[in-house]
């Protein structure tokens, strides 16, 4: 059997479906604007934030995403807010999480949608106003044999 031909044709179906799903896409510029809005004048510094995501994504509809910020989470020194951004979905925002000393640890886990291979950014704002960042590059593959 000629699997390569089969794959090309099946991929074609998948590719078309993907295009239809994304009528408009955020741009790296839109993402940067959204990130600046969150940082509110502070310059995000790389560090203190860990963004755990698979590098090879099996299905972009549910990508396990965990953010951990290195912080004692005390009244004097804690994370106030964490935000997730993406480059190529229709909208740059993914979620914002409000935390405080009552969390004990700055640890959040969720599942996100990614329409395409792209980068995801996590920003964390501390109570002193400083903003820290991490990012991840992901390759999003499509399942074969999708409907329609």
Q: Does the protein bind other proteins through residue 63 (CB under 8 A)? A: yes
- The listed partner (other proteins, ligand HEC, none) that binds 105, CB under 5 to 8 Å by sort, is other proteins
Identity of the residue, 45 or 95, whose beta carbon is nearer to other proteins in the bound complex = 95
User: In terms of C-beta distances under 8 Å and separation of at least 24 residues, what long-range contacts does 46-52 make, across chains too?
Assistant: 46/132, 46/133, 46/134, 47/132, 47/133, 47/134, 48/124, 48/132, 49/82, 49/122, 49/123, 49/124, 49/132, 49/133, 49/134, 50/134, 51/120, 51/121, 51/122, 51/134, 51/135, 51/136
Q: Using CB under 8 A, pick the residue from 36, 39, 110, 136 that binds other proteins.
A: 110
Residue 135 interacts, among ligand HEC, other proteins, none and using kind-specific CB cut-offs from 5 to 8 Å, with none
Segment contacting ligand HEC (CB under 6 A): 20-28, 42-50, 78-86, 139-147? 139-147
CB of 44 to other proteins, least distance (A): 19
């Amino acid at each position: 059997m000629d699997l390569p031909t089969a794959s090309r044709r099946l991929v074609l179906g998948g590719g078309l479906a993907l295009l239809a799903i994304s009528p408009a896409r955020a741009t790296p510029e839109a993402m940067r604007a959204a990130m600046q809005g969150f940082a509110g004048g502070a310059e995000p510094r790389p560090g203190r934030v860990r963004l755990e995501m698979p590098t090879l994504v099996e299905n972009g509809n549910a990508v396990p995403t965990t953010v951990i910020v290195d912080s004692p989470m005390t009244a004097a020194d804690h994370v106030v807010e964490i935000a997730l951004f993406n480059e190529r979905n229709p909208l740059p925002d993914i979620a914002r999480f409000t935390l405080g000393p009552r969390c004990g640890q700055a640890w959040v886990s969720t599942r996100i949608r990614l329409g395409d291979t792209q980068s995801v950014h996590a920003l964390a704002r501390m109570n002193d106003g400083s903003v820290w960042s991490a990012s991840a590059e992901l390759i999003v593959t499509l399942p074969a044999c999708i409907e329609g």
